[in-house]
Structure formats: structure tokens, C-alpha cells
Amino acid sequence: MRDDYIKEALGIISDPNVLINVVSRRVKQLKRGNRPLVESLEKLSPEDIALREIIEGKISFELADATAA
């Protein structure tokens, strides 16, 4: 994974644990054949594609409310 993409993505999803989970879930989707939501002239790894999607606002996340039971 590219360090510059990680730093930019952390500006959007500040919790590293949440970022890892979002990227991991998206990488699984990409490896199953889902199409990338961003275009790139260079060949990017699935991890870098997921980070670019976060940076460009193509995917979002929602935290579950731990108090709701």
C-alpha cells in the first residue's frame, strides 16, 4: 500500500482500526470481481484502489451505535 494514500485516507477516516476494516472489506469485494469505483492510468493493487475510493469519496462507512441494544 502506498504511504501517501494511507495518509490521505487517514484524513478522512481518522481511526486506523476503522480504516483497516473499511479497506479490508472493500478489498474482498474487489477480489470477488466487483468493479473499482475509481479509474487509474497506473496498475493499482486492490488495497490502493480501496484507499483511492475512500479518498475520492466513492465509498463511505457508518459506525454502529454501541449504546443501542
Digit-coded pLDDT (tens) for 1-40: 899 999 999 999 999 999 999 999 999 999 999 999 999 8
Q: Is residue 15 part of a domain?
A: yes
Q: Is residue 69 part of a domain?
A: no
Q: Is residue 64 part of a domain?
A: no
H-only helix segments in 1-69 = 3-12, 16-31, 46-55
Q: What pTM was computed for the model? A: 0.87
Q: Is residue 62 part of a domain?
A: no
Q: Is residue 14 part of a domain?
A: yes
- The CA distance from 16 to 58, in Å, is 19
DSSP state of 42: S
Q: Is residue 33 part of a domain?
A: yes
Q: Is residue 27 part of a domain?
A: yes
- Domain hosting 18: range is 3-55
Tally of domains within the chain: 1
Cell of 26: 472493500
